[in-house]
Structure 1
């Protein structure tokens, strides 16, 4: 990069990159079985190159029984047959590298599948694998910890006649990282992939790998029972340091750690020199939820979003790096969640893209986000594929709070992970051009108007706006390395900030709501008229006094 004459300390290729997340099962199906595959990704590599992204984050394609869509791994060194073969994977890597693009793999090592050889041998009492997982020989559940998917975090295994720990689905037993043999097997597997030429890892729930010795009951009254004993546990930092030293620290790669319950101050321990490149946090994913967590849907708290984003921007400015995202395979569609997916779908999708690309950090685009894909609908509970959502519906209907699925449906349609797992919408043809067979999950009904072909044919589409933002970010270092200063901190509808690097200055203004309003921003007035770099409305004037903003309007000015 460094194209505008600046000299930037701490420059790294992954800081200057734009990441595109591919959820293989829903991306592109080439054999008609209704499941996306590796040849399907290969078929779309030129599309990704045309968009201008630099790095592909590939969700799990390992051998798996698919209890949690691939996050239950049965063999770390094999490709699931539905996705293709190892030859297909190697060809994908080659195709990406030929276009100067990189590939990072999902790393899931807090848990495995219960069909992994390690667990099979452990449950059968093989002494070599006896302590690869958390087993407890008791007459009842060993403690009060809860699973992230609902219910107890313990299940009884008849073969071993003991309980085992699973912080997620019962088919996802947690690995015992206190056992050095477990750690060394994990590190050897990671080195195997690194030697195959990958460019890094995204590490799934990596800060859950350490549990408190003795696995005691949780005594804290919080959202997640047990969290005090397994979120960033007592040995997590030591395990992470060992992982970096033994594996990724010896390669020029990108490392992204997904960490639950971590704030910006704590993040400084885990990123930067001798740590990870960046981490995925969840603080800003709570700005539209109530006190009861994910399924308690609330109105967007923009002041809360400003506080969280500013904290992360300022805290990691000198000692780390930010991962910028608004949606992924575990979160709803950004335009439906933080924008307006009907009347102002295009405007709000562009506004959110403006926000995503102008903060300090590496932007992550989730597949379909670049065309403004929206949340889907579930007329019947049988249409739900997400195990977490299914458990929520079941628990909700078992409680006294809801009498029917229709009462629960709006919550599911707002928050289910299935919203971002519907097939990629390539065209207005059958099944949105995703597959000639019956897709594994229903296609969003809006595919006839919201699809890649239509977006690329329309110069004013969300897709072309993303392309323009990527070009701007590549051309101007201030987008990447500029300092961040919050403007209008108390405004409840507009998020505005300044980015500065040497003599370059950007002013970013984003209206997060569907109201029309005026703001007074002194930074945009004075002797020098700022240049409008990009905006999501065509007829945007240069600022003169108060700035009139339309619904979901976004502007980037350069001084």
Structure 2
């Protein structure tokens, strides 16, 4: 490798500085299961004060927003069956604790979004208990079977639809403990909009919308029905209009499970974004196999589909995994190098990437669900003050990973996440760039272009355990021959040949005149 063109990751030279703007919010959101995060009162359960206490950690990581998994009263550990939408789960604290958290997060420049579960409630919710009476005003807030209802119907997810309550049957496509709400009922719609407005007035910045595509899409034969999708989208437009009356900047991101962007695209009209589950699958598969699974092409395709549906650029919501999925470090069989390149791909995608708590230190987890949502590891000792103990993971899940162990290790996964998130603060196209394909001719290399008003960059990742070389070519008159950032010291640029070390990543600036970055080789 030519000594004249080796760039060290932290180095900034006059040649690169012009492309690096002043620090801006990274756009990265951090998903928090409060129960598992940090315990301030010693009861073994995480609490809202624990999140407030750890805001400096999140600020150092570089995130610009947090998503709180449901914090409302609920009979379950996970909180996705809500009994009261205008209160705080007493295990997590009080309304005063919540308002203090929001105020502190905003002071640190972080937004707060809540998980809003409005497809269903708990079967202990007072609305549902009242609805069991056929004469109740709440009767039509839920679906109750009539004499001619097919009780053996299959849900859009393949499970059971109807559940018995005495001599009656009610709909619950996720669980008998979670009866579905009936959005054909105007009074219910008004109440859900009112609840959304209630929390906005208490300072939240938006919502993650649980099961966003199932509100009116209930049955197996409706899975890909555009009529059902249109009905869901019409409700979300009504919801958006209601929230905008309180805060026109409300951020809405929807959980829309689908493998095709064309089925997801209608939702990005009323919503700001939907989680990019198809991309997550490609990212993890590419990192695991060491071969590009068409990431660049899929990125361009997604942006085109969404622009066609909305008429404007849409900020994507990419991720690697979340609370419903096996943790990505488990998918990658504990391979730290592959985890680092998976993180690098995620955090060089445009939009608002989501990081699941503990992902940044390499926590593992698999089904059943509680083991995907296990206690955050802050300290080397799992019994140190602040560690949550509500769930004791099995012995095989005890791992030598923690914030304490990784904090001061420059080669740790934690510090790789910090590095990558901070890249986004200074390189604007990484946050909101329009994607373009960049052919590498090598399945072990994946690359894509990102262009916005600030300029154009090329992102390249080596998915393999060997050094790979990429002969750079111009696209649309732009040449990418100035290194801005690299994750590996021995990344080299010799003329138009980029050498990427094993599992290395690089960002290069595009210009009409090639300008090489010269820096001293450092082993």
> TM-score, normalised on structure 1?
0.77
CA drift at 1:259: 1.2
Contact kept, 8 Å, 2:474 with 2:480, in 1: the verdict is no
Match of 1:467 among 415, 418, 421: 418
CA shift in 2, pair 1:502/1:120, >3 Å: closer
Residue 445 of structure 2 contacts residue 468 of structure 2 at CA under 8 Å; is this kept in 1?
no
Cα 1:305–1:255, aligned 2, differ >3 Å: closer, same or farther? Answer: same
Equivalence for 1:391: none
Whether contact under 8 Å (1:177, 1:210) holds in the other structure is yes
Match of 1:326 in 2: 320
Q: Identify if the C-alpha distance between structure 1 residues 81 and 132 changes in structure 2 by more than 3 Å, giving closer, same or farther.
A: same
Once the two structures are TM-superposed, the CA of residue 70 in structure 1 deviates from its matched residue by 0.7
What does the per-residue CA deviation read over 1:486-521, in whole Å, with 9 as the maximum and x for residues that have no partner? 222764332211223357332211233445544434
**Distance across 2 between alignment mates of 1:30 and 1:100:** 23
Distance between the aligned counterparts of 2:404 and 2:393, measured in 1? 20
CA contact 1:147–1:166 (8 Å) conserved in 2: no
Q: 1:489 to 1:423 in 2, by over 3 A?
A: same
Q: Secondary structure at the match of 2:141?
A: coil
The match for 1:246 is 242
Query: Alpha-carbon deviation of 1:445?
Result: 5.6
Contact 2:284–2:328, Cα closer than 8 Å, also in 1: no
Match of 2:302 in 1: 312
The DSSP-based 3-state class of the residue aligned with 1:260 is coil
* Equivalent in the alignment of 2:334: 341
Q: 1:374 aligns with which of 364, 372, 375?
A: 364
Alignment check: 8 A CA contact 1:54 1:101 kept: yes
Structure 2 CA distance for aligned equivalents of residues 544 and 131 of structure 1? 70
User: Structure 1 CA distance, aligned partners of 2:204 and 2:407?
Assistant: 30
Matched residue of 2:266: which SS? coil
Task: Give the Cα–Cα distance (whole angstroms) in 2 for the partners of residues 434 and 169 of structure 1.
Answer: 33
> Is 1:27 matched up with 2:20?
no
Matched, 1:365 2:316: no
Alignment match, 2:140: 131
CA distance in structure 1 between the aligned counterparts of 2:505 and 2:298, rounded to whole angstroms: 20
- In structure 2, the CA distance between the partners of 1:259 and 1:132, relative to structure 1 (3 Å rule), is same
Higher relative contact order (CA 8 A, sep 6+): 2
Partners of 1:424 and 1:434 within 8 A in 2: no
Cα 1:555–1:373, aligned 2, differ >3 Å: closer, same or farther?
farther
**Is the CA contact 2:377–2:387 (under 8 Å) kept in the aligned structure 1?**
no
Contact 2:379 2:405 in 1 (8 A): yes
- Whether the 8 Å CA contact 2:200–2:246 is kept in 1: the answer is no
Query: Within the alignment, does 1:163 sit opposite 2:166 as a pair?
Result: no
Q: How many residues align?
A: 484
Aligned with 1:542: secondary structure? strand
Contact 2:29 2:353 in 1 (8 A): yes
- Aligned counterpart, 2:160: 152
**Match of residue 236 from structure 1:** 232
Whether contact under 8 Å (1:424, 1:432) holds in the other structure is: no
Instruction: Give secondary structure in 1 for the equivalent of 2:322.
Output: coil
Q: Aligned pair 1:176/2:182, yes or no?
A: yes
5+ long unaligned stretches in structure 1: 8-12, 220-225, 291-297, 377-383, 387-417
- Equivalence for 1:504: 455
Q: Deviations over 1:343-398 (max 9, x none)?
A: xx0x323322221122221111111122232336xxxxxxx652xxxxxxxxxxxx
1:107 and 2:116 aligned: yes
C-alpha change, 1:176 and 1:332, in structure 2 (3 Å) is same
Q: Distance in 2 between matches of 1:528 and 1:306?
A: 18
Say whether the 8 Å CA contact 2:446–2:463 is kept in structure 1. Answer: yes
What residue is the counterpart of 2:378 in the other structure? 426
Which of 68, 71, 86 aligns to 1:58? It is 68
- Note the C-alpha offset of 1:90: 1.5
Task: Give the root-mean-square deviation of aligned CA atoms.
Answer: 3.4
Q: Does residue 210 of structure 1 match 2:207?
A: no
CA contact (8 A) 2:303 2:314 kept: no
Match of 1:553 in 2: 504
For residues 495 and 284 of structure 2, the distance between their equivalents in structure 1, rounded to whole angstroms, comes to 38
**Could you list the runs of 5+ residues in structure 2 that have no partner in the other structure?**
1-16, 511-523
Cα drift, residue 236 of structure 1: 1.4
Structure 2 CA distance, aligned partners of 1:243 and 1:300? 43
Which of the numbers 480, 484, 498 marks the counterpart of 1:533?
484
Aligned to 1:412: none
- The answer on whether the counterparts of 1:211 and 1:234 sit within 8 Å (CA) in structure 2 is no
The residue aligned with 1:258 is: 255
